[in-house]
Amino acid sequence: MNRLNLHLVSDSTGETLEMIAKAALAQFDDPMVSRHFWPMVRSRQHLDRIVPDLVENPGLVLFTLVNPETRSRLEEHCRQLGLPAVPVLDQVTAALESQLGQEAHGRPGRQHAMDADYFKRVEAIQYTIAHDDGIAYEDWEEADIVLAGVSRSSKTPTSIYLANRGYKVANIPLVVESPPPKALFGLRHPLVVGLTTAPERLVQIRRNRLLSLNEGTETSYVDNDRVKAELQFARRMFADNGWPVIDVTRRSIEESAAAIIRLVQERERRDRSVDGVSKPI
């Protein structure tokens, strides 16, 4: 298999470009790719400094450049070198311009501007960190989402991922011997979501966790019957309270978070329908 040199050229942080490249590469089986990452390219001088690497490591160029002069110069370099250059956001931007009836502003890194959404994400992350693992349950009513589940059911990483999407998230471990605070059952604003998983998978995760801590693995924490009882306890609580449940057994953190966001949006649509008000999401 040939090794591909993949050049990612961005006039901002390059985060969007990296995510697109990663998503596309995931469609191939173990591709041999050498990434060459070029963020914050906003001048001809900076762009010209990249050319020697393009010459030395020819390959595919993906770019997100909104400045016409910088963009044209990159495309000209690629033509001269015989390299394919793909503007990854052009088709999406053109479609949006057509549907919205206005031209895109063409401002580098505008998605990273410190606007209201930015500060909302910062506040959500701070809230989520402060309300991890059942802490500060007195403030749970301020949350957008509360995740409940037994130990090692991906509550914390899912919470952090959701926080980065702007959701305030609290999470609580469900322990048979220690009932959760009564506040959990009287919440009105947050959407409470139960996380569950297959017992065999949970035992494996817990064993790996104990090994990483250099602790013994012959404990009730990883006992098969005990783990099944914990999961049954949690599922019974979810059912008794009518909470939606996400099975994370075969889901990545991103997939679990996407399922939870859909639940939040569905509830918002139902609430608007009840109120007789139609607003865009």
Give 78: exposed, middle or buried? Use CB within 10 Å, 0-12, 13-18, 19+. buried
| 131: nearest Cα among 165, 153, 163, 177 | 163
Strand order in the sheet with 145-149: 169-173, 145-149, 191-196, 245-247
Contact 203, 229 (CB under 8 A): no
| Beta strands at 169-173 and 4-10: parallel, antiparallel or unpaired | unpaired
For the chain, what percent of residues have pLDDT higher than 90?
A: 69
Token pair listed for 244: 């939606």
Contact 173, 230 (CB under 8 A): no
Token pair listed for 29: 């089986």
Q: Quick check: helix, strand or coil at residue 272?
A: helix
Query: What is the per-residue pLDDT across 14-68, written as a single tens digit (0 to 9) for each?
Result: 888 988 998 899 889 888 999 999 999 989 899 999 999 999 999 999 999 988 8
| 110: nearest Cα among 89, 84, 80, 134 | 89
Query: What is the per-residue pLDDT across 228-270, written as a single tens digit (0 to 9) for each?
Result: 999 999 999 999 999 999 999 999 999 999 999 999 999 988 8
Sequence-separated (6 or more) residues with CB below 8 Å from residue 59? 4, 5, 6, 7, 34, 36, 83
